[in-house]
Amino acid sequence: MEALLLLSLLCLGGCGVGVEVIRPRGVSLSNRHFYDESKPFTCLDGSGTIPFDRVNDDYCDCSDGSDEPGTPACPNGKFHCTNAGYRPQYIPSSRINDGVCDCCDGTDEFNSGFVCENTCKEKGRKAREALQQLAEVSREGFRLKQELIDGAKKGREEKQEKLSELQESKKVLDEQVEALKIKKEEVEKPEQEAKSVHQKAWEELKEAQRAAREKALEIEAFAELDDDEDGMITVSELQSHSELDGDSDGTVSDEEAQALLGGSEKADVTTFHDKVWPSIKDKYNSETVAEIPAPPLDVTAEEDLDSQIDSKLEHPHHEDEDYDDEDDDDDDDVTEEDHKEHHPKPPTDKTVDDKDKMPPYDEVTQALIDEAQKARDQYDEAVRSLKDMEDSIRNLEKEISFDFGPQGEFSYLYGQCYELSTNEYVYRLCPFNRVSQKPKNGGSETNLGTWGFWAGPEDNKFSIMKYEHGTGCWQGPSRSTNVKLSCGKETVVTSTTEPSRSVSRLFLHQVQPFGPCSGERASSQMAELGNTE
C-alpha cells in the first residue's frame, strides 16, 4: 500500500489587460506574425504553403489544421479565445459555432446565431481579487517561513550547545559511576564475609537442632518400646508396633524383629542407637512429639544438646521423678490439662516458620550491611542518572541528525502530530516519525509508514516526505506514505478521499508554512494523503 500526502502550491500569476491586434479569427497574438496577408501562408508544421486567401476558408489544407484557426474544418484545429480582461485560452475548433459559449468574450459563437454575454470583465475582476488574496497569504507565509528559519537556526545552536554540555557532564558522571562501583565492591566484600559467617552459624545451628530432634525422637522411641523398663528392647516389644512390618502382612514376625535387632533377641541402648534405630526411624510412629528448644545462635548447641540427650538415653524417665505405673495406667485420673502437657500438639506452620527463620544479624554485621546497601543505593542512583543522560544525548543526536530542510524550516514539525477524523477512520500524521490510520468503530491501528527520507525531484527535493515499512498489505507489499509539501499558513488535516478500496487521500492545511514560500508566491496549501495497496 502506498499513501500519498500532497501539499499543492498555488502560484500568483500576473494579470494583464489584453491589447487587440488585427489578425485572422482564432489566431493568438503570439502567432500573429505567421499570418501575414501580404504573402502566402506556410503551414505551421511545414507540411505545405497555400495562398493566404485559403486561410479560414472552411477547408482544411494543412495537416496540423493551422490554416483553419477560426473554422471547424480541421478536426485537429485550435481556436484562440482572446478573452480581453481575463485569461486567453485555446479551445478545439470543433466547438466553434456549436451554440455553447466556450470563450468568455463569446468570439467562438460568431456565426451560430447564438448571442453570448461577454463575462471576461467580471471573471477578470474576481480572478484579480483572488490573486490579491493569494499574494497576501504568500507574503504572510514567507514571513512565517523566515521566522521558522530563524527559530530553527537558534534552536539548533541551543541543541548543539546542550549536547556538548551533556557530553561533558557524561564524562564526569562516568568517572563518578566507576568510583562508586569500586567503593561498592570494597564495602560489599566485608559484608559478604560477615553474612557468610552468620549464615554458616545458622546452618550449623539448624543442623544441631535437627540432630537434637532426631536424638530426642530416638530417646522417646526407646522409652516407648521398652515396655518393662529394663533398659532392653526385645523381640516381643518390637512386635507391638505393626508399622515395623517388613513384608506388609500386618504383623512383625520373630524373624523380622530379630533382623531389626541385628540378629539378636534384644538390644541395649547402644545397640539400639547403632543398629535398630537407623532401620526403623522412617517407619516408627511415636506416641508423643518431642520438641527440643533451640539454643541461642552464639551457644554451642551440639555440646549442650548431646549432654541432655545422653542423660535421657541413660535414664529414660529421669525427668519424671514422680513416675508411677499405677497412676500412668489409670486413664480416668488424667485431666485434659495433664493430657495437653504430656501430649503436646504438633507445631503449627507459624511455629515451623519462626523456627526455620534465620535470626537477626548482630550489630557489627548489620552495620556492614547498612554501609554496603548505602553504597549500592548511591551506585544505582548514579547508574540511573547516567542512563537518563545517555538517553537525552541519543535523542538530541537523533534530532540534530534529521534533515529539516535547506535552512531547517521544517524542524518545528518534529514532535508534533496532526489528525483527521472521517466517517470511518482517524488518520494521524507525525512528521519525521510515522503515519497511521485507526478505524473509528474499533480495531487496531494500521501503520502507514515510518519516516524514511526526502523524496522530491532533483530540483525540489524537499517537496515530498517518504514514510515506508508500514504494516504489510494482505499478500502484498508493506504500506508506505508520500507527503507532498507546499507553502501556507495552517497545519490542520481538512479532508480525505478514497477513490478505491485500496487508495485513500488525506488533505492537510498547515497553521505554519509547511513548504518553501518565496516572494509573492501564493501560499494556499493543502496535503493529500493516499494509501495504495
Residue 143 pLDDT level (bands cut at 50, 70, 90): confident
Residue 266: its pLDDT value, please? 87
Lowest pLDDT segment from 243-247, 399-403, 433-437: 243-247
SS3 at position 348: coil
Q: Is pLDDT at 396 greater than 70 in this prediction?
A: yes
Residue corresponding to grid cell 459555432: 97
pLDDT digits (tens, 9 = 90+) for 516-530: 444 333 333 223 233
Average pLDDT over residues 321-345: 43
Residue 258: its pLDDT value, please? 84
User: 99 and 109 in contact (C-beta within 8 Å)?
Assistant: yes
Average pLDDT over residues 137-144: 77
CB neighbour list of residue 275: distance below 8 Å, 6 or more residues apart: 261, 262, 267
Residue 144 pLDDT level (bands cut at 50, 70, 90): confident
* C-alpha to C-alpha distance for 233 and 231, rounded to whole angstroms: 7
Residue 148: its pLDDT value, please? 84
Residue whose C-alpha is closest to residue 464's, from 403, 400, 532, 395:
403
Q: Would you put residue 262 in left (φ > 0), alpha (ψ -120 to 50) or beta?
A: left
Residue 290: its pLDDT value, please? 46
What are the b/e assignments for 347-362, b being 16+ CB within 10 Å? eeeeeeeeeeeeeebe
Average pLDDT over residues 127-155: 83
What nine digits make up the cell of 339? Answer: 493430657
Residue 487 pLDDT level (bands cut at 50, 70, 90): low
Residue 9 pLDDT level (bands cut at 50, 70, 90): very low
Residue 288: its pLDDT value, please? 54
pLDDT digits (tens, 9 = 90+) for 286-305: 665 444 454 554 434 444 44
* C-alpha to C-alpha distance for 267 and 270, rounded to whole angstroms: 8
SS3 at position 216: helix
DSSP 17-40: --------TT--GGGGGG--TTSP
User: 495 and 395 in contact (C-beta within 8 Å)?
Assistant: no
Model pTM above 0.85: no
What nine digits make up the cell of 345? Answer: 500438639
Residue whose C-alpha is closest to residue 74's, from 96, 47, 52:
96
| Between residues 343 and 427, the one the model is more confident about | 427
pLDDT digits (tens, 9 = 90+) for 112-125: 889 999 999 999 99
Residue 409: its pLDDT value, please? 84
Residue 378: its pLDDT value, please? 97
Residue corresponding to grid cell 549442650: 304
Q: Is pLDDT at 12 greater than 90 in this prediction?
A: no
Start-end of H helices in 402-477? none
User: 317 and 229 in contact (C-beta within 8 Å)?
Assistant: yes
SS3 at position 429: strand
Residue corresponding to grid cell 514514510: 467
pLDDT digits (tens, 9 = 90+) for 205-223: 999 988 999 899 989 989 9
Residue 488: its pLDDT value, please? 62
Distance (Å) of CA 302 to CA 208, 295, 299, 318: 5, 9, 9, 21
For every residue of 162-197, which 3-state class applies, written as one string?
A: HHHHHHHHHHHHHHHHHHHHHHHHHHHHHHHHHHHH
What nine digits make up the cell of 416? Answer: 508534533
Residue 139: its pLDDT value, please? 80
Residue 367 pLDDT level (bands cut at 50, 70, 90): very high
Q: Quick one: DSSP state of residue 108?
A: G
Residue 38: its pLDDT value, please? 92
pLDDT mean across residues, the chain: 78
Average pLDDT over residues 133-145: 78
